[in-house]
Amino acid sequence: MQRMAQEWRDHGDDRYRSVLEDFEAYLAEVRRFEDAATVPPEWVRCTELCLEAAGEIVGCSRLRFELNARLELEGGHIGYDVRPSMRRRGFGKSILRLVLVEARRAGLARVLVTADADNEPSLRIIQSNGGVFAGEAVSMKTGKWVRRYWVDLEGGTAP
Protein backbone atom coordinates (compact mmCIF):
# COMPACT_ATOMS: atom_id res chain seq x y z
CA MET A 1 0.00 0.00 0.00
CA GLN A 2 2.84 2.38 0.83
CA ARG A 3 4.45 1.94 -2.60
CA MET A 4 1.15 2.79 -4.29
CA ALA A 5 0.69 5.83 -2.04
CA GLN A 6 4.22 7.02 -2.78
CA GLU A 7 3.64 6.62 -6.51
CA TRP A 8 0.55 8.81 -6.31
CA ARG A 9 2.53 11.41 -4.36
CA ASP A 10 5.35 11.28 -6.91
CA HIS A 11 2.74 12.07 -9.57
CA GLY A 12 1.59 15.17 -7.66
CA ASP A 13 -1.49 13.60 -6.02
CA ASP A 14 -1.60 13.20 -2.25
CA ARG A 15 -4.85 11.20 -2.09
CA TYR A 16 -3.16 8.51 0.02
CA ARG A 17 -1.12 10.88 2.20
CA SER A 18 -2.38 9.25 5.40
CA VAL A 19 -1.05 5.85 4.26
CA LEU A 20 2.45 7.34 4.19
CA GLU A 21 2.14 9.42 7.35
CA ASP A 22 0.47 6.93 9.71
CA PHE A 23 -0.67 3.62 8.26
CA GLU A 24 -2.38 2.48 11.48
CA ALA A 25 -4.40 5.71 11.60
CA TYR A 26 -5.33 5.18 7.94
CA LEU A 27 -6.63 1.68 8.73
CA ALA A 28 -8.54 3.02 11.75
CA GLU A 29 -10.21 5.60 9.49
CA VAL A 30 -11.20 2.91 6.99
CA ARG A 31 -12.76 0.90 9.84
CA ARG A 32 -14.52 4.02 11.16
CA PHE A 33 -16.34 4.46 7.85
CA GLU A 34 -17.38 0.80 7.73
CA ASP A 35 -19.46 1.10 10.92
CA ALA A 36 -22.70 3.09 10.70
CA ALA A 37 -22.30 4.07 14.36
CA THR A 38 -18.95 5.78 13.78
CA VAL A 39 -19.37 7.41 10.35
CA PRO A 40 -18.94 11.18 10.66
CA PRO A 41 -22.03 13.34 10.09
CA GLU A 42 -22.71 14.21 6.44
CA TRP A 43 -20.77 11.11 5.28
CA VAL A 44 -22.07 7.65 4.42
CA ARG A 45 -21.02 4.15 5.42
CA CYS A 46 -18.48 2.68 3.03
CA THR A 47 -15.72 0.15 2.71
CA GLU A 48 -12.42 0.33 0.91
CA LEU A 49 -11.26 -2.53 -1.29
CA CYS A 50 -7.89 -2.91 -2.99
CA LEU A 51 -6.92 -4.88 -6.08
CA GLU A 52 -3.63 -6.76 -5.96
CA ALA A 53 -1.68 -8.18 -8.88
CA ALA A 54 1.69 -9.93 -8.59
CA GLY A 55 2.07 -8.86 -4.96
CA GLU A 56 1.42 -5.16 -5.63
CA ILE A 57 -1.66 -3.08 -4.93
CA VAL A 58 -2.62 -1.73 -8.32
CA GLY A 59 -5.79 0.13 -7.38
CA CYS A 60 -8.35 0.85 -4.71
CA SER A 61 -12.07 1.34 -4.62
CA ARG A 62 -14.58 2.75 -2.19
CA LEU A 63 -18.03 1.15 -2.03
CA ARG A 64 -20.59 3.46 -0.46
CA PHE A 65 -23.72 1.74 0.78
CA GLU A 66 -26.00 4.74 0.35
CA LEU A 67 -26.02 8.16 -1.27
CA ASN A 68 -26.35 11.66 0.09
CA ALA A 69 -27.05 14.80 -1.96
CA ARG A 70 -23.35 15.39 -2.67
CA LEU A 71 -22.73 11.82 -3.82
CA GLU A 72 -25.82 11.89 -6.06
CA LEU A 73 -24.10 14.61 -8.10
CA GLU A 74 -20.52 13.38 -7.92
CA GLY A 75 -18.93 10.32 -6.40
CA GLY A 76 -21.83 7.91 -6.47
CA HIS A 77 -21.81 4.54 -4.76
CA ILE A 78 -18.43 3.53 -6.16
CA GLY A 79 -15.19 5.41 -6.55
CA TYR A 80 -12.06 3.75 -7.85
CA ASP A 81 -8.54 4.57 -8.93
CA VAL A 82 -5.64 2.74 -10.52
CA ARG A 83 -2.09 3.77 -9.71
CA PRO A 84 -0.48 5.66 -12.60
CA SER A 85 2.06 2.99 -13.60
CA MET A 86 -0.64 0.30 -13.80
CA ARG A 87 -3.09 2.05 -16.10
CA ARG A 88 -4.15 0.72 -19.53
CA ARG A 89 -3.79 -2.89 -18.40
CA GLY A 90 -7.45 -3.64 -17.66
CA PHE A 91 -7.19 -3.12 -13.90
CA GLY A 92 -9.79 -0.34 -13.84
CA LYS A 93 -12.32 -2.54 -15.61
CA SER A 94 -11.51 -5.41 -13.24
CA ILE A 95 -11.72 -3.40 -10.04
CA LEU A 96 -15.10 -1.93 -10.97
CA ARG A 97 -16.43 -5.36 -12.00
CA LEU A 98 -15.33 -6.88 -8.69
CA VAL A 99 -16.78 -4.04 -6.62
CA LEU A 100 -20.10 -4.42 -8.46
CA VAL A 101 -20.15 -8.03 -7.24
CA GLU A 102 -19.60 -6.77 -3.67
CA ALA A 103 -22.36 -4.17 -4.09
CA ARG A 104 -24.76 -6.91 -5.19
CA ARG A 105 -23.74 -9.02 -2.17
CA ALA A 106 -24.41 -6.01 0.06
CA GLY A 107 -27.98 -5.92 -1.24
CA LEU A 108 -27.79 -2.91 -3.53
CA ALA A 109 -30.16 -3.16 -6.51
CA ARG A 110 -28.41 -0.51 -8.56
CA VAL A 111 -25.43 1.75 -8.10
CA LEU A 112 -24.41 5.16 -9.31
CA VAL A 113 -20.90 5.56 -10.72
CA THR A 114 -19.53 8.92 -11.87
CA ALA A 115 -16.48 10.18 -13.74
CA ASP A 116 -15.20 13.48 -15.06
CA ALA A 117 -16.66 14.03 -18.53
CA ASP A 118 -13.15 14.41 -19.97
CA ASN A 119 -11.90 11.13 -18.45
CA GLU A 120 -12.50 8.90 -21.48
CA PRO A 121 -10.78 5.80 -20.03
CA SER A 122 -12.98 5.89 -16.92
CA LEU A 123 -16.12 6.49 -18.99
CA ARG A 124 -15.29 3.40 -21.08
CA ILE A 125 -14.69 1.36 -17.92
CA ILE A 126 -18.08 2.34 -16.53
CA GLN A 127 -19.87 1.64 -19.80
CA SER A 128 -18.15 -1.74 -20.22
CA ASN A 129 -19.43 -2.68 -16.77
CA GLY A 130 -23.06 -1.97 -17.66
CA GLY A 131 -23.23 1.75 -16.88
CA VAL A 132 -26.22 3.49 -18.42
CA PHE A 133 -25.82 7.25 -18.92
CA ALA A 134 -28.05 9.23 -16.56
CA GLY A 135 -26.94 12.80 -17.18
CA GLU A 136 -24.28 15.32 -16.29
CA ALA A 137 -23.65 17.64 -13.39
CA VAL A 138 -21.06 20.25 -12.55
CA SER A 139 -18.60 19.26 -9.83
CA MET A 140 -18.82 21.42 -6.75
CA LYS A 141 -15.12 20.64 -6.10
CA THR A 142 -13.56 21.28 -9.51
CA GLY A 143 -16.20 23.05 -11.60
CA LYS A 144 -15.74 20.37 -14.28
CA TRP A 145 -18.54 18.42 -15.90
CA VAL A 146 -19.18 15.01 -14.37
CA ARG A 147 -21.04 12.19 -16.13
CA ARG A 148 -23.35 10.00 -14.09
CA TYR A 149 -24.12 6.33 -14.85
CA TRP A 150 -26.43 3.82 -13.20
CA VAL A 151 -25.55 0.14 -13.14
CA ASP A 152 -28.50 -2.21 -12.59
CA LEU A 153 -27.35 -5.07 -10.37
CA GLU A 154 -30.62 -7.00 -10.49
CA GLY A 155 -31.64 -6.66 -14.11
CA GLY A 156 -28.56 -8.24 -15.59
CA THR A 157 -26.82 -5.23 -17.16
CA ALA A 158 -23.83 -5.55 -14.83
CA PRO A 159 -21.18 -8.14 -15.70
In-domain check, residue 59:
yes
Structural domain boundaries, residue 90 = 2-152
CATH number of the domain residue 65 falls in:
3.40.630.30
Distance CA 32, CA 147 (A): 29
In-domain check, residue 68:
yes
* pLDDT mean over 104-126: 96
**pTM of the prediction?**
0.90
Of 110, 114, 105, 116, give the one whose Cα is nearest residue 143: 116
**What pLDDT digit, counting tens, does each position of 69-92 carry?**
999 999 999 999 999 999 999 999
User: Into how many domains does the chain fold?
Assistant: 1
Distance between alpha carbon 39 and the CA centroid of its chain, in Å?
18
**What pLDDT digit, counting tens, does each position of 1-54 carry?**
899 998 999 999 989 999 999 999 999 999 999 999 999 988 999 999 999 999
Q: Residue 90 to residues 6, 96, 105: CA-CA distances in angstroms?
A: 22, 10, 23
In-domain check, residue 114:
yes
